[in-house]
Amino acid sequence: MNPKEKFKIALSFSHYNFIYRNISSLKNINILEFGVNNGFSTSMFLNICNQNGGHLTSVDVDDYSGLFKNKRWTFLKSRDDNFSYIKKSIKKKLDVIYIDSFHEPNHIEKILFFYYKFLNKNGSIYIDDISWIPYVKNSYRVNSWNEIINRKTFSKILEIYFGNLKNLKLEFCFDDSGIAKLTKKTNKPLNNPKIVFNSEFSLKNCLRRVLNRKPKK
């Protein structure tokens, strides 16, 4: 499949379309991508770099160096947490970081916290696979593992946001397997994630349920 065909397929996924709509007008964009595989997201980012000027660096543990031939593209065959190696390739601040590699919440947190310092103010981090809706029972892609891991990733992003209400803006797209967008509002370093307390499991709420109390109108 050639890059044009890949790009067309990428835009047919609404969650990629969400990213495209957000960044396609940015000039001279600098993008760091984790996770290449079929190259759909890569083709979308390269299309933007071709149109507006800019550069894409893509990282994957598997060798996808032959997938595209483009002077605006650097491919690094590496784990995403090989920090000392990858940071050598970050020559100027980033406008977009896209995380679609190892989908494990603590790993995503580690990646996000390390690369955040290379992100421009007003730049954004997109995290793929945050919706569990496609994977639940009676949905269209039933898979309990993906259901659980995506829900945990979603919660982790809420915790990162809750710890950084002044530093970050958070938006979600729930199409397909979902995308979270975190925008950097300040140049301050990130605070630690903060647990989002859930009153549903509090003693007070248990009593409410036992007594069948309803909210007052």
Ligand X SMILES: C[S@@+](CC[C@H](N)C(=O)[O-])C[C@H]1O[C@@H](n2cnc3c(N)ncnc32)[C@H](O)[C@@H]1O
213 by DSSP, 3-state: which?
coil
Give the Cβ contact number of residue 104 at 10 Å. 13
Q: How far is the CB of 62 from ligand X (least distance, A)?
A: 4
Q: How far is the CB of 101 from ligand X (least distance, A)?
A: 4
Choose the stretch contacting ligand X; rule: CB under 6 A; options: 19-27, 38-46, 67-75, 173-181.
38-46
176 scored as a contact of ligand X (CB under 6 A): no
One residue of 26, 61, 133, 136 binding ligand X per CB under 6 A: 61
**Spatial CA neighbour of 120 closest among 100, 140, 102, 93:** 93
Which token pair is 43?
A: 């083709």
186 scored as a contact of ligand X (CB under 6 A): no
Choose the stretch contacting ligand X; rule: CB under 6 A; options: 100-108, 138-146, 158-166, 176-184.
100-108
Query: What gap in Å lies between CA 188 and CA 164, rounded to an integer?
Result: 10
Query: What gap in Å lies between CA 148 and CA 131, rounded to an integer?
Result: 10
38 scored as a contact of ligand X (CB under 6 A): yes
Tokens 């893509």, residue located: 58
One residue of 30, 47, 57, 101 binding ligand X per CB under 6 A: 101
Give the DSSP letter of residue 67. Answer: S
Binding site for ligand X (CB under 6 A): 34-41, 59-62, 79-80, 100-102
